[in-house]
Structure 1
Amino acid sequence: MPDPEAVAAALAAIAKRTRSAASLENQQLDFKTDKPSEKESYQELAEAAVCFANASGGTIVVGVADSLVGAEAFMGSQLKIDRLRARIHALTEPSIVVSVDEIEHTGARLLVLTVPEGIDVHATRKGLVTRRWNDECLPMRPIDISRLDDERRGADWTSQSSGRSIVDVDPDAMLRVRSLLRSTPDESRRSLGLAAESDVLAGLRVVHTDGSLTRAGEILLCRNAGGVAEEALVYQYRPTPGAEATIARRWGTPMIGAYAEAIEVFSARIGTTPVNTTGGQQLQIEDYPLAAIREALGNALLHGDYRERRPVQIEHSPDSLIIRSPGPLVAGITPDNILTAGSRARFPLLTGAARTVGLAEELSQGVDRMFREMVRSGRATPTVRVEHESIDPATVVTLKGGPPNIRIARFVAELPEGERNDTDTLLVVLLLCQKRSVTAREVSHVVQRDVPATEAVLRRLASGEAQLIEPTAGTITRRHPNYRLRSASLVALGPAVAYHRQSNSEIDRKVVDHVREYDTINSATIQRVFDVDVYRARDILKDFVGREILVRISTQTRGPKVKYGPGSQFPTRRPRRR
Structure 2
Amino acid sequence: MHSGRRSAASLEDETLDFTTEKSNDKETAQDLAEAAVCFANASGGTIVVGVRDRTTGPEAFIDATISRDLLRSKIHELTEPAMVVDVQDVSLHGHRLLAVVVPAGLDVYATRKGLVLRRWNDQCLPLSPTGVSRLDDERRGTDWSAGRSGRSTTEVDPDAMHRVRQLLRQTGDETRVRLASASDQDLITALRLDVGGNELNRAGEVLLCRNAVAAAADVLVYQYRATPGGEATASRRWGTPLVTAFAEALDAVSARSEITPLNTVRGQVLQIADFPLAAVREAVANALLHGDHRERRPVHIEHSPSTLHVRSPGPLVTGITPANILTAGSKARFPALAGSFRQLGLAEELGQGVDRMYREMVRSGRQAPEVLVASGGGEPETTVVLRGGPPNVRIARFVAELPDAERNDTDALLILLMLCEKRSVTAKDVAPVVQRDVAATEDILRRLVHGPAGLLEATAGTHARRNPNYRLRGQALAALGPAVTYHRRNPSDTDTKVVDHVQEYESINNATIQRIFDVDVYQARDILRDLVGREILTRTSTQTRGRAVKYGRGARFPEKRRRR
Same fold (TM over 0.5): yes
- Please give the alpha-carbon distance, in whole angstroms, between the structure 2 residues aligned to 1:153 and 1:55: 14
Question: In 1, Cα distance between the equivalents of 2:142 and 2:136?
Answer: 8
Counterpart for residue 428 of structure 1: 415
- Which residue number in structure 1 is paired with residue 526 of structure 2? 539
In the other structure, the counterpart of 1:353 is 340
The answer to which of 70-79 and 547-556 deviates more is 70-79
Residue 21 of structure 1 pairs with residue 8 of structure 2: yes
Q: Which residue of 1 aligns with 2:62?
A: 75
SS of the residue 1:372 aligns to: helix
Report how many aligned residue pairs link the two structures: 564
Match of 1:499 among 483, 486, 499: 486
Between stretches 350-359 and 422-431, larger displacement belongs to 350-359
1:173 maps onto 2:155 in alignment: no
Please name the residue that 1:373 is paired with. 360
Does 2:405 correspond to 1:408? Answer: no
Q: Which blocks of at least 5 consecutive residues in structure 2 are unaligned?
A: none
Aligned to 2:229: 242
Per-residue Cα deviation, 1:267-307 (whole angstroms, up to 9, x for no partner): 22222222233333332222111110110011111111111
* Aligned-partner Cα distance in 2 for 1:46–1:452: 35
Match of 1:394 in 2: 381
Q: Is 1:112–2:99 an aligned residue pair?
A: yes
CA distance in 1, matches of 2:144, 2:545: 69
Measured against aligned partners, the alpha-carbon deviations of 1:149-191 in whole angstroms (never above 9, x if no partner) come to 1111111222222222222100010011112223334433322
CA shift at 1:397, angstroms? Answer: 0.7
Do the aligned residues in 1 keep the contact of 2:7 with 2:55 (CA within 8 Å)?
yes
Q: How far apart are 1:308 and its partner, in Å?
A: 1.5
Report the Cα distance in structure 2 between the residues aligned to 1:93 and 1:149, rounded to whole angstroms.
14
Q: Distance in 2 between matches of 1:503 and 1:212?
A: 71
Query: Of 137, 141, 144, which aligns to 2:128?
Result: 141
Residue 51 of structure 1 corresponds to 38
DSSP-derived class of the 2:34 partner: helix
Assess, with a 3 A threshold, how the Cα gap between structure 1 residues 15 and 364 changes in structure 2: closer, same or farther: closer
Matches within 5 A, 1:513-532: 513-532=500-519
Cα deviation 1:249-282 (Å, max 9, x = unaligned) = 2211100011111122222222222223333333
Structure 1 residues 339 and 103: CA distance shift in structure 2, 3 A: same
Q: Which moved more, 1:293-302 or 1:405-414?
A: 405-414
| Pair 1:458–1:315, CA change in 2 (3 A) | same
Using a 3 Å threshold, how does the CA distance of structure 1 residues 187 and 460 change in structure 2: closer, same or farther? same
State the one-letter code of the partner of 1:465: P
Aligned with residue 405 of structure 2, among 404, 412, 418? 418
CA gap 1:371/1:134 in 2 versus in 1, 3 angstroms: same
- Partner Cα distance (2:293, 2:315) in 1: 12
1:264 and 2:251 aligned:
yes
Give the partner amino acid of 1:473.
A
Letter paired with 1:468: L
Identify the residue that residue 28 of structure 2 maps to in structure 1.
Answer: 41
Distance 2:3 2:272 in 1: 47
TM-score for the superposition, normalised by structure 2: 0.95
Q: 1:439 to 1:111 in 2, by over 3 A?
A: farther
Q: CA deviation at 1:427?
A: 0.9
SS in 1 for 2:119: strand
- Pair 1:362–1:548, CA change in 2 (3 A): farther
Q: What is the letter of the counterpart of residue 138 of structure 1?
A: L
Match of residue 312, structure 2, among 295, 309, 325: 325
CA 257–136 in structure 1, closer or farther in 2 if over 3 Å, else same: same
Deviation, 1:355, is 2.1
CA shift at 1:32, angstroms? 2.0
Q: Look up the match of 1:561.
A: 548
Within 5 A, what are the aligned runs for 1:110-509?
110-209=97-196, 211-361=198-348, 365-509=352-496
Structure 1 position 97, deviation (Å): 2.2
Give the Cα–Cα distance (whole angstroms) in 1 for the partners of residues 300 and 188 of structure 2.
29
Which string of whole-angstrom CA distances, capped at 9 and with x for unpartnered residues, describes residues 348-368 of structure 1?
Answer: 111112222332348984211
- How far residue 535 of structure 1 moved from its aligned partner, in angstroms, is 2.1
Q: Relative to 1, partners in 2 of residues 1:100 and 1:485: Cα closer, same or farther, differing over 3 Å?
A: farther
Structure 1: state its 5+ residue gaps. Answer: 1-13
What is the CA distance between 1:574 and its match in structure 2? 6.1
Cα distance change on mapping 1:61 and 1:398 into 2, 3 Å: same
**Cα distance per residue 1:54-97 (max 9 Å; x no partner):** 11122222222212333333334333333322222222212222
| CA pair 569-245 structure 1, distance change in 2 beyond 3 A | farther
State the Cα distance separating 1:318 from its structure 2 match.
Answer: 0.8
Q: What is the Cα-based RMSD across aligned positions, in Å?
A: 2.1
| Residues 70 and 494 of structure 1, relative CA distance in 2, 3 Å threshold | farther
Residue pair 1:295, 1:365 contacting (<8 A) in 2 also = no
C-alpha distance in 1, partners of 2:423/2:367? Answer: 18
Amino acid at match of 1:211: N
- Show CA shifts across 1:418-473 (max 9, x none): 11111111111111221222222221111111222222222222233333223333
Of 150-159 and 75-84, more deviation after overlay is shown by 75-84
TM-score normalized by the length of structure 1: 0.92
Q: What's the secondary structure of 2:302's corresponding residue?
A: strand
Output the amino acid matched with 2:396. A
Inter-partner Cα distance in structure 2 for 1:111 and 1:141: 31
Q: What letter is aligned with 2:382?
A: T
Q: Deviation per CA, 1:514-568, whole angstroms, max 9, x where unpaired?
A: 2333332211221111122222212222222233332222222222221222333
